[in-house]
Amino acid sequence: LQTVSVSNYEYKTAAATTSATASATRSSTTTSTTNTTTTGEPLSDADKQLMEEYTKYALMAIGAVIALKVLASSMMSILVVLLPLLYLYGLSTCPPIETFDAKKELKRVLRGHHLPDTHPQKPKGVLEEWTARLTATVTTELATLPGYSVEMMPLGGAAVWTNMQVPTANLQCYWLGANHRWYYVGSRDLEATTGTTSSRSSTT
């Protein structure tokens, strides 16, 4: 019985020794793996410079986004303040509907008053201007003699959108009344029986 007891003790001791050895081996392997993982080749100068460039660009992008957000917020605040002021200014400077002279405005359009100086159809010199005025006057009187229509649409009291149709001249013109004036917007041909239209460009 004593011999068996000693053998069991020796067996337990050997098992404990084996377990401790295995644990130490695993720990050493883990430490070695960790060291191998964390210990690599040092970054070269080119890699360091590349990382610095990427970092700089990232910071610049973040700064640009922040600046845009601040600018958008500032612009919105300015618009909130300016829009009521602009509306009040429009209310005080909107020309009365009665001041729109359809024939006078049509003459100005026909003689090219609203065209820029570089436009080829802009009259050059005194003789051409006088001829253009005379032609526009005669054309306007003949075109409006059978009749014409003028439609006006107030825009909140701050401006007036005006639409003039002259069927005889196959012409439709637009003006915007604001700031004590009637601004010529543009004109186009009235729709023909074929349903086609053509536009006329001009500048105010």
**Does the global pTM surpass 0.85?**
no
Q: In which band, very low, low, confident or very high, does the pLDDT at 96 lie, cut at 50, 70 and 90?
A: very high
Distance CA 83, CA 130 (A): 43
pLDDT(34) > 80: no
Give residue-wise pLDDT tens across range 149-162.
Answer: 999 999 999 999 99
The residues, any chain, with a CB within 8 Å of residue 204's CB and separated by 6 or more, are: 114, 183, 184, 185
Rounded to 5 degrees, φ, ψ at 60 are -65, -40
**Largest Cα–Cα separation, the chain:** 143
